[in-house]
């Protein structure tokens, strides 16, 4: 298989396996999605979904959150890890959203990436899932699978994102990012699930 043939097979098989792609982070609007994605850094989606109900009960909008003490935010989100940094970022980005954007999350990559605690991957998730703008958020899990499936020789997530965007149809980017995550969790885990030859996609694209 050529690299493009591998990509085409993967797109087709993932669509068969995961025709529906519910967003794994519970949220009600772009702001709560933004906060949830920020919290998910180095934390599981399951843990984030356990923590956010209490946080959003306390404050579910930038206007409310900016008035909550950082220590109170930190106490709630502690199970997610990195709570000192994340609580400060949530407080500061909420204030910025109110002061610069009228309390709305901007549908703009550059504006999002300027917010405290928001990197390119977080901005890409929000643009894709909250606003439907084509994006291909690449985390360490997608980076690992892209290398395992010989789609990208990229040394980091930024390079891998560029390779995947060239190989995959633009109109499928938003869905594919979730489909790859779902597949990796179910069939091609980092440890104990597949060593690059066991699961269906690995065995097909790697010629095993």
- Active site (catalytic) residues: 121, 139
- Residues 205, 150: Cα–Cα separation, whole Å: 8
Element (H, E) at 178: helix 173-186
The structure tokens listed for 2 are: 């050529």
Burial (CB count within 10 angstroms: exposed 0-12, middle 13-18, buried 19+), residue 22: exposed
> Is 4 within 8 Å of 167 (Cβ atoms)?
yes
**Cα Rg for the chain, rounded, in angstroms?**
18
> Is 19 within 8 Å of 11 (Cβ atoms)?
no
- Residues 19, 4: Cα–Cα separation, whole Å: 21
- Residues 195, 69: Cα–Cα separation, whole Å: 46
CA angle, 20 then 168 then 145, to 5°: 75
Assign residue 51 a region (left: φ > 0; alpha: ψ between -120 and 50; beta: otherwise).
alpha
């Amino acid at each position: 298989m050529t690299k493009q043939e591998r990509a085409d097979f993967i797109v087709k098989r993932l669509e068969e396996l995961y025709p529906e792609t519910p967003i794994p982070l519970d949220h009600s609007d772009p702001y709560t999605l933004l906060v949830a994605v920020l919290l998910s850094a180095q934390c599981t989606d399951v843990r984030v979904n356990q923590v956010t109900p209490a946080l959003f009960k306390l404050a579910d909008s930038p206007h409310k959150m900016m008035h909550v003490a950082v220590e109170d935010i930190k106490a709630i989100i502690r199970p997610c890890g990195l709570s000192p940094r994340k609580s400060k970022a949530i407080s500061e980005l909420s204030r910025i959203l109110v002061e610069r954007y009228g309390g709305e999350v901007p549908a703009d990559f550059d504006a999002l990436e300027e917010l405290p605690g928001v990197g390119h991957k977080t901005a890409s998730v929000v643009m894709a899932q909250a606003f439907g703008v084509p994006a291909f958020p690449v985390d360490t899990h997608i980076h690992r699978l892209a290398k395992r499936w010989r789609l990208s020789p990229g040394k980091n997530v930024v390079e891998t994102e560029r390779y995947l965007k060239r190989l995959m149809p633009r109109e499928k980017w938003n869905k594919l990012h979730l489909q790859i995550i779902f597949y990796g969790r179910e069939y091609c885990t980092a440890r104990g699930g597949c060593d690059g030859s066991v699961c269906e996609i690995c065995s097909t694209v790697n010629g095993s």
